[in-house]
Amino acid sequence: GIQVEQSPPDLILQEGANSTLRCNFSDSVNNLQWFHQNPWGQLINLFYIPSGTKQNGRLSATTVATERYSLLYISSSQTTDSGVYFCAAFWGKLQFGAGTQVVVTP
């Protein structure tokens, strides 16, 4: 099956800082999604991004399908951005990466 690797595993940011999270996947995929898992454990859809670039407020994502990676950018981070960020690649089902634990400090 598809292997999905995320980096870095942990990230500590000061409020206001920018950061980039990376997701590598081992094979061609039909779909790639980014999620934010909040402190209550809920998976919040951030982006559906099989290719190209999308922006939603302070978050943006880019997927380069031919090179099998996706990037999630967080700009001007806030404490509410804390949590675990997962990418997941679809080939019949979603295969999740291990996540990046983000802590934003005031």
Partner 1 sequence: EPEVTQTPSHQVTQMGQEVILRCVPISNHLYFYWYRQILGQKVEFLVSFYNNEISEKSEIFDDQFSVERPDGSNFTLKIRSTKLEDSAMYFCASVYPSADTQYFGPGTRLTVL
Number of Cβ within 10 Å of residue 9's Cβ equals 10
CA dihedral 24, 28, 30, 34 (to 10 degrees): 0
Residue placing its CB nearer to partner 1 in the complex, 17 or 43:
43
Q: Which is nearer to partner 1, 71 or 99 (CB)?
A: 99
The residues binding partner 1 (CB under 8 A) are 30-31, 33, 35, 40-43, 45, 48, 50, 86, 88, 90, 92-99
Tokens (6 digits) for 78:
């806030």
Minimum distance between the CB of residue 93 and partner 1, rounded to whole angstroms? 4
Q: Both tokens of residue 33?
A: 């999604």
Quote the least distance from Cβ 86 to partner 1, whole Å: 7
DSSP code for 17: -
